[in-house]
Amino acid sequence: MTKADLAEQSVNLSDSRYYINREVSWLGFNERVLHEALDPRTPLLERLKFLAIYSSNLDEFFMVRISGVMEQAEAGVHPETPDQLPPVKQLEIMRSHLLEKVQLQHHTFEHDLRPALTEHGVYLQNYRDLDKEQIFFLRDYFEKRIFPVLTPLSVDPSHPFPRMSNLSLNLAVRVVDPETGIERFARVKVPSSLPRFVSMPESLRTYQGDPCVWIGVPLEQVIAENLGYLFPGMTIVGHHLFRITRDADFPVLEDEADDLLIAIEKEINKRRLEGFVCRVELEGAMPEDLKEGLMRELQVSPDRIYEIDGLLNLADLFFFLSIPLPELKDKPWTALVPPRLKPVIEQDDDGGRSYAEHPPNIFAALREGDILVHHPYEAFSASVQQFITQAANDPKVLAIKITLYRTSGDSPIVKALIAAAANRKQVVALVELKARFDEANNIEWAKKLEDAGVHVVYGIVGLKTHTKTTLVVREEGNEIRRYVHIGTGNYNPKTSKLYTDLGLFSCREDLGADLSDLFNFLTGYSRQKAYRKLLVAPLTLRDRMEDLVRREIDHAQSGGQGKIVVKMNSLVDYAMIKLLYEASRAGVEIDLIVRGICCLRPGLPGISENIRVISIIGGFLEHSRIFCFHNNDQPEYYIGSADWMTRNLDRRVEAVVPIEDPALVIELQIILDIMLADNRQAWEMDAEGNFTQRRPRDDNEERGTHRVLKDYFLKRDRVL
């Protein structure tokens, strides 16, 4: 059957068999994260890091996604999704998967990684295995540092079951009054304000008489072994650890809120204490009657209980990366300064050896042409941060406008904006208060910015502002020139060291005019719907992306070459997947690099045999979005903030920008080619939604994306 015949064959592309449930797909993504912890090729402390990431990801998944499916199941509703998997069935699949993988996670830590740590002098011990001097130290530490913080809460007719905060770690304590013989229950919260692991001082870092690098015990064990201080005169019958997870997805009714900032502050407090309990993690040794009592008080059914053999909350394993054992970690990477932003070196007047370095004028550099930066290979501080800092202090700059979705707690970007306001520039910051789990941080910075005289806006009712854009307006002679940064990642110097992101700097008039229109749309009552170059969601992005895919279909059907390469975080949108199926059936070759959720099934005969999907998982989090449309050997490239998810295309403000400079196009093609050739970090997806990690064949050299890109940037830096 020819491609033309296949294209004409009637197929129902809406058939649910052709789509993967998004929650099930996410579980596969997190399983790939877990695999990095299982893989002996991963350095030991990095393996602990991946266990922590797996746990942290799972916490958020329960709080937002599983809790939502639970509500659907309890309400008896069945939202229309392409896969048509009922909520009850989704819950069954997710629980079955998690029971196996969580057990594997804990088994790996207890039986593989924890013993492996001891071979390098790192001992996470049980309290009762310590020597007398170490126990004496911990008792003293408990009395002075822990005991004053603790508040035991009894449960009896005059003391109702206490409200417990989300993700809290707790000790369920059973005590008996020796005078009456009556058994009581009490709850002791393990304070999150104290370090999870209590470290021994240097003088006591020994194990069986031999010196070690680090030795310590979990905080909850120190509390458990000293419960007599909390319940004097009572007999401690038993203590058992448990941890609760609450629903944290509280929609804010923006159109009913008089003040969005105040409304969101209230919702943050709700999330901590008021969401229903969607998961309870218990020590496996907890007695059945105590478990049943907790279930009754927390109002949870058995399918929300996860019994754990070992340490609860492995997200705290991030701590072990602080131990000074560099040989057990990935080799640290020092981000490079982009070639055209390297410091200017000035020698002394006599031509001697003394010299001074200072950053180049970034505005002069941009007048020579566009600059593309790739984090974390290239430094955020020497590019994005420098751009905003120079703008804040440049007397010729009249205005700075920026969108802030997520930023760090000590953000130099925000400090630069405050400095700009002090320098009497017009500064506008769109702070997205609805950035989930960063709301409190963003509220804090919004208040500080307003106090400094920055004009702070919170976006558009009904839409999240997810775009990553900055506009700088500068007076140059008798003209006004606009400089822009349009990126794929947040203005966050901390995550810029871990997330791979791209950013375009330019002073092109068409992009400057587009960003001016976009900010007017965000801050005023503009109904601007046409843009010169930018693709803007929810206005033009979906239509333009669909047009670009259809153009590839036209090329393929008229005898040319149709080819698409897209890199994104998630592929969920039903209409885009259906269109990709149409493109595949027409003969378009499609390569998708999708880190996380992928609801498309590649390799289905007659449907998607021309579609290939890989996922790149490694030491950096793949976060950049790149879109390449071959266009009969006249390829068009785009980068931006949007994935192909319905929320990004229809319910968020996103910006995607074309990359037109030929040299920058080559850079993007190199990145995509490296990823498609990966045989170390890449996972190939099959039609059932399963992923298989690629391995080098025969004597082929390992080609991991992150290592290859590091080598590429180092080589380029030496040449230039």
- The catalytic residue positions are 466
Contacts 24+ apart (CB under 8 A), 158-164: 161/297, 162/187, 163/273, 164/189, 164/244, 164/273, 164/298
Contact yes or no for 541/642 (Cβ under 8 A): yes
Hey, what are 278's tokens? 């969607």
Q: DSSP code of 549?
A: H
Length, in residues, of the chain? 720
CB 258 within 8 A of CB 171: no
- Which is nearest to 651 in space by CA: 504, 432, 443, 483? 432
CA distances from 506 to 281, 368, 465, 502 (A): 51, 9, 22, 13
Letter for the amino acid at 406? Answer: R
Q: Please choose, from the candidates 550, 535, 671, 667, the residue with its C-alpha nearest in 3D space to the C-alpha of residue 616.
A: 671
Closest CA to 713 of 486, 493, 500: 500
Q: Which two tokens stand for residue 293?
A: 């009592």
Across-strand partners of 637? Answer: 628, 659
How far apart CA 306 and CA 314 sit, in angstroms, is: 14
Q: How far apart are CA 309 and CA 312, in angstroms?
A: 8
Task: Give the Cα separation of 719 and 337 in Å (integer).
Answer: 14
Residue 678: left if φ>0, alpha if ψ -120 to 50, beta else—which one?
Answer: beta
Nearest CA among 643, 554, 564 for reference residue 598: 643
Note whether 227 and 173 are within 8 A (CB): yes
C-alpha span between 549 and 580 (Å, rounded): 7
